[in-house]
Amino acid sequence: MGLQQTHRGFVVALCAFLYSSLPVSSNLVVLVKNAVSVDSDHAITLPCWLNPSQSAENLEVRWYLGKNFDDPIMLYRAKKMEVTPYQGRVEFGLKDATSGGLKTGDVSLKLLSATLKDEGDYTCYVSSDQGYDTGIVKLTVTKMGAPPILSVVWKDNVANVSCASEGWHPEPRLRWSDQKKDLTPGGLQHSVDSSGLQSVHSWILVSDSSEVSCSVGLSDEGAKEARLLPVPPQKKEPGSSAGGGWVAFGILILLIAVLASLGLLYFRKRALFLGKTDKPGSDEENQKLLLKDVVQPTDLSTCITHYVNVTLEETGSPHLIIKDGKLRDKGGQYTEGQKVTCLTAIKGTPGFSSGQHYWEVSLENPSVGLKKSWWVGVTSAAIILPESDIPLTASNGFWFLSSSPDKEGSLQISTEPNVSLHVSSRPQIVGVFLNYDSGELSFYNVKDKRLIASVTASFRGEVFPFFNPGIGDKAPMEILQKSVLDLSSDMTNSVDET
């Protein structure tokens, strides 16, 4: 403001000198749209025009951010555009489709690609030798975040459901509800990362088996929602209350639905998840939890009888090193940080379109240690495009369990919404069991002989084993090959232990 005042004073002095008695700003009136909002990376026009309409071709038009009058974003004077640091990113825009542009006094600013840093108050300043006027346009840059991720921890038949979502701007609103009304969260936290993006995390206690919904959005329209029905263990966990605190023992979630952003897609998917406790003895209880329309996960000892030796597809990928069923990334030179993408994903053969099949993947290596970054599952995609924008979710034909180096103590599953499963440690060998006909896909921690998660899906077309050794993880992933002899001894072992 101070600067503007000074400037006004200067103009007054100048005009007084040149035109002795002409009043300032008498014949230039600038109108603006006060606030505009744009999704990041998109173009936006900040509308500003003269009223009544008159040509601005011979005027000075200056756009500046905040109080930086002397460092304009765009400066047009003496019928020329002057060079500013924003050159190439800004130009004159049209306030609406019928506008005649500069000739009719439309001096709107067009910003070609908005970033979060572009937020702020923009002054549109128009000056003639007779006076000047200004208007301020507030620009908000929005960024849609990721769909919320839900996770559940049980204690004494009370579910502590957490909802987390990241990558928003400005601060998103998080809302819990059941079918009837809004619910008050137990805790709600907002945080901002170094790039200015906002995350939100909230938890709520649910004591009866009623569906809860968590929706996160900048407005109600664009909100992303995840719902789940937490189903408590039927039998009380002996001693689970004695230890005090919440125990991540069994997770059984019936996923009801997810409303994707913009309401375009409505998924109705059901999945059963069984997470495992560190406590011995809970397995039996969890195995008994059954929902009418959910497939009972198959016993590991039965799975093993369907062992199939999977081989990796020869893709000649420049990002992977494949040797004797061992797989890892080439290391180094990726642009997108450590994020695991389809660049390093690969299919296995054979593909399946019926029957029951089981295979195992080793994630440990005596010299390098346990693998932390991996995907293991199945896909119905005919080809895996290395750089595709399609989300790798169940509705797009990807069903997999994943582990990230930064998420100690949890594994993720590619359903909508993503569900985190609490685990006491990362598995050394993951067993994958596919019953194509019943739609069962189960994952096991083979060393501990425990079920990690079981998902029901309706498979269509041919389904292939799917792997990803992650990025920057030195430990290889090995597709275990078994002979008839190994299998009979495996089966004896599992019979012995039951």
Residues that bind ligand NAG (CB under 6 A): 160, 162, 186-187, 203, 246
Nearer to ligand NAG, 420 or 435 (CB): 420
Least Cβ distance, residue 107 to ligand NAG (angstroms): 51
Of 106, 119, 126, the C-alpha closest to 48 is: 106
Q: Which residue has the tokens 């299919």?
A: 347
Q: Are 149 and 165 in contact (CB under 8 A)?
A: yes
Nearer to ligand NAG, 108 or 162 (CB): 162
Least Cβ distance, residue 254 to ligand NAG (angstroms): 20
Q: Which residue has the tokens 């000047």?
A: 132
d(CA 275, CA 453): 6
Q: C-alpha angle 434/440/446, rounded to 5°?
A: 55
Least Cβ distance, residue 187 to ligand NAG (angstroms): 6
Q: Which residues contact 118 (CB under 8 A, 6 or more apart)?
A: 111, 139, 141
CA Rg value for the chain: 30
d(CA 258, CA 261): 9
Burial of residue 387, with CB atoms counted within 10 A of its CB: 0-12 exposed, 13-18 middle, 19 or more buried: exposed
Q: Which residue has the tokens 């078994």?
A: 482
Nearer to ligand NAG, 85 or 187 (CB): 187
Nearer to ligand NAG, 125 or 203 (CB): 203
Q: Are 63 and 77 in contact (CB under 8 A)?
A: no
Least Cβ distance, residue 158 to ligand NAG (angstroms): 8
H or E stretch covering 103:
none
d(CA 490, CA 90): 68
Q: Which residue has the tokens 């008498």?
A: 26
Nearer to ligand NAG, 206 or 327 (CB): 206
Q: Which residue has the tokens 């195995």?
A: 287
Least Cβ distance, residue 186 to ligand NAG (angstroms): 6
Q: Are 110 and 124 in contact (CB under 8 A)?
A: no
Least Cβ distance, residue 314 to ligand NAG (angstroms): 44
Nearer to ligand NAG, 23 or 186 (CB): 186
Least Cβ distance, residue 210 to ligand NAG (angstroms): 18
d(CA 144, CA 37): 13
Least Cβ distance, residue 246 to ligand NAG (angstroms): 5
Beta strands in 414-481 (DSSP E): 419-422, 429-435, 440-445, 450-456, 464-468, 477-479
Least Cβ distance, residue 202 to ligand NAG (angstroms): 8
* Strand, helix or coil for residue 318: coil
Least Cβ distance, residue 59 to ligand NAG (angstroms): 58
Nearer to ligand NAG, 105 or 172 (CB): 172
Q: Which residue has the tokens 């800004």?
A: 90
H or E stretch covering 182:
strand 182-183
Cβ atoms within 10 Å of 284's Cβ, excluding its own: 8
Least Cβ distance, residue 191 to ligand NAG (angstroms): 13
Nearer to ligand NAG, 99 or 160 (CB): 160
Nearer to ligand NAG, 160 or 356 (CB): 160
Least Cβ distance, residue 25 to ligand NAG (angstroms): 57
d(CA 413, CA 198): 24
Q: What is the DSSP letter of 171?
A: P
Nearer to ligand NAG, 204 or 303 (CB): 204
Nearer to ligand NAG, 186 or 281 (CB): 186
d(CA 402, CA 411): 6
Establish whether the linkage from the previous residue to 366 is cis, with ω within 30° of 0. no
Alpha helices in 232-356 (DSSP H): 282-288, 300-304
